[in-house]
Amino acid sequence: MAETSQLSPGLTDEKARVGAPSDEEKVAIDGFTEEGENLSPLNTGTEQHGARRHSHGDEPVVPEASRGERLKSYRLADFAPLTGREEDWRFTPLKRLRGLHSEPLSGQAPAVTVTGASNIQVETVGRDDARFGCAAVPEDRVSAAAWEAVTAATVITIPEETVADCEVTVSVRGTDSAAAAQHIIIDARRFSRAVVVLDHQGSAVLSQNVEILVGDGAELTVVSVQEWDDDAVHVSSQQAKIGRDARFKHVVVSLGGDLVRLTPSSFFTAPGAEVEMYGLYFADAGQHLEQRLLVDHAVPNCKSRVTYKGALQGQGAHTVWVGDVLIRKEAEGTDTYEVNRNLVLTDGARSDSVPNLEIETGQIEGAGHASATGRFDDEHLFYLMARGIDEKTARRLVVRGFLNEVIQQIKVPVLEERLTEAVERELAAGNL
C-alpha cells in the first residue's frame, strides 16, 4: 500500500485501509451517508440498507456492487429523471443546472475555434461519422441529453507519428443563456505527440461531451480551462481511452462560472499505459465547482496518478471532489495513487472530498488514496512572518505555492502565466 506524504499539522488525512469495520460494526450517524453528508432536505432517514430505509430518502435503494456496473447508455430515456437523491448527484444543486437535466437542449452552443499547431487536422462532422462514440458512452442523464441533442462534432486529429509543432488551442466562447449541447473529439493516433487546450470563456448553459482517443504509443496532454463569466453553467463529461504503452495527462482548471461540474474518466484498454490527472479549482462566494473522476484499470500493468487541489473563500463557496479508482480482477500489476487537498481560506466555505478505491485483485504493485481539508498552517505563516513578511503577503505566498504544483504541470508557458495571474485576481478579490 502506498504511503501518504507528510501533511501539515492543520490538515486532516483520511486514508484507505485494510480492516475497516464491517456493515454490522458501523454506526449510523444522523445526517450522514456512508460517503459523506446527506445534503438533500428529503433525506431524513437514518436507517441503512436491507429492510430499513436508505439514508437518501424513504424509497428503497440498491447500491451498485461495483463502480464498473454503473449504467451507460446513449439513450436519454434509459436514465430516470433526477431527484437529487442519487449518489452521483447528491452534492449538486439541481435547481442551478438551469434545465440541463430536465429541458430540451435547444440553445446555441458556444462557438469553437481551433488554433495553434499547423500539422494537425480539424473537421466538423455529422453524428453519422464513425468516430462518434468511439471513446465514450454517457454515464448520466445530462450527458445522454447532450448526446441526443447534438447534430455535429468538432474533431481534432493528430496524425500517426506526428509531433504537433506547438500546442493546439480549442477556444470555446459562449454567448447564449439557453441550455445547449456540444460534442468535441480529440484523436491522437499511434505514436503521435500533442498538447490540446480546451479554453472555455464567456457565458453559457452547456452540457458537453468530450471524447479522447490516445493511440498506442501516443503522448497526449489535454488541459481543460473553465474561466467562464459569473453566470455560466457548465457540465462536461470528458472520457479518454488509452492504448498500449500510451501516456496521457489530463489537467482541469476551474476558476469561473456559477456552477461547473466536470466528470473526467480514463479507461485503460491495453497494458503498459500511464495516466496522470491533475486538477486546480478556486471557488468564490456562491460558486459551486464539482469534479467527479474515474480511473478504470481493466488491463494489466498500467499506472495512474491523480492530484487535485482546491481553494475556497467567501460565503457559500462550495467545492466537491469525488475520485473513483477501479482495479478490475484482470488488472494485475496495477500501480495507482490519488490525492485531493483543499485549503479553506474563510468562514462560510465548504469542501466535500470523497476518495474511493475498489480493488478486485490482490496482484498489484500498489494502490492508495488520501484526502485532506484544512485552513492555513499556522507554522507556515509564522515561518514567513518571522522573516519579515507581513501576514497578508504570507497568506498569498502559501496559497500560491499550494496551487502552483498543478499549474506547473501544464507545460504551456503562456497559459501558465495567465492562470497564475488569474489565481492572483482570485486572492485579491477575497482581500486575502
- Cell numbers at residue 245, please? 504503452
Q: Are 382 and 345 spatial neighbours (Cβ–Cβ below 8 Å)?
A: no
Note the pLDDT of residue 395. 78
Q: Flag whether 92 is in a domain.
A: yes
Which region among 11-15, 108-112, 191-195 has the lowest average model confidence (pLDDT)? 11-15
Q: Per-residue pLDDT averaged across 88-94, rounded? A: 96
Note the pLDDT of residue 93. 97
Rg (CA), the chain: 21
Q: Are 304 and 332 spatial neighbours (Cβ–Cβ below 8 Å)?
A: no
Note the pLDDT of residue 370. 94
Question: Which residue has better confidence, 427 or 379?
Answer: 427
Which pTM value belongs to this model?
0.84
Query: Can you give the residue range of the structural domain that contains 282?
Result: 74-376
| Residues 6 or more apart whose Cβ sits within 8 Å of residue 370 | 4, 13, 14, 15, 338, 339, 340, 355
Q: Are 223 and 418 spatial neighbours (Cβ–Cβ below 8 Å)?
A: no
Model pLDDT for residues 369-395, shown as the tens digit of each residue = 999 998 876 666 766 677 777 777 777
- Cell numbers at residue 390, please? 507581513
User: In the chain, how many domains are there?
Assistant: 1
Indicate the residue type of 46. Answer: T
Q: Flag whether 107 is in a domain.
A: yes
| Residues 6 or more apart whose Cβ sits within 8 Å of residue 62 | none
**What one-character-per-residue DSSP string does 49-84 give?**
STTSPPTT-SS-----S-GGG----S-GGGSPPP-S
Indicate the residue type of 378. Answer: D
Q: Per-residue pLDDT averaged across 295-302, rounded? A: 98
| Residues 6 or more apart whose Cβ sits within 8 Å of residue 346 | 312, 313, 314, 315, 317, 430
Q: Which of the 8 DSSP states describes residue 6?
A: P
pLDDT at 208 over 50: yes
- Cell numbers at residue 360, please? 478486485
Note the pLDDT of residue 383. 64
Q: Binning pLDDT at 50, 70 and 90, where does residue 243 land?
A: very high
Among all chains, which residue has been given the C-alpha cell 445530462?
A: 142
Model pLDDT for residues 27-75, shown as the tens digit of each residue = 333 443 433 344 444 443 333 333 333 344 444 444 555 788 889 999 9
Q: Per-residue pLDDT averaged across 294-321, rounded? A: 97
Neighbours of 165 (CB within 10 A): 12
Tell me how far CA of residue 247 lies from CA of 158, 212, 213, 228, 303, in angstroms. Answer: 15, 13, 11, 29, 10
Nearest partner of 102 among 83, 127, 126, judged by Cα: 83
Q: Per-residue pLDDT averaged across 99-126, rounded? A: 97
Neighbours of 231 (CB within 10 A): 14
Q: Flag whether 193 is in a domain.
A: yes
Q: Flag whether 37 is in a domain.
A: no
Burial class (CB within 10 angstroms; exposed 0-12, middle 13-18, buried 19+) of 21: exposed
Model pLDDT for residues 142-186, shown as the tens digit of each residue = 999 999 999 999 999 999 999 999 999 999 999 999 999 999 999
Q: Flag whether 233 is in a domain.
A: yes
Q: Flag whether 427 is in a domain.
A: no
Q: Are 340 and 7 spatial neighbours (Cβ–Cβ below 8 Å)?
A: no
Q: Flag whether 351 is in a domain.
A: yes
| Residues 6 or more apart whose Cβ sits within 8 Å of residue 148 | 74, 75, 76
Note the pLDDT of residue 364. 95
Mean predicted lDDT score pLDDT of the chain = 86
- Cell numbers at residue 317, please? 463557496
Question: Which residue has better confidence, 96 or 61?
Answer: 96
Note the pLDDT of residue 431. 63
Q: Flag whether 431 is in a domain.
A: no
Note the pLDDT of residue 57. 45
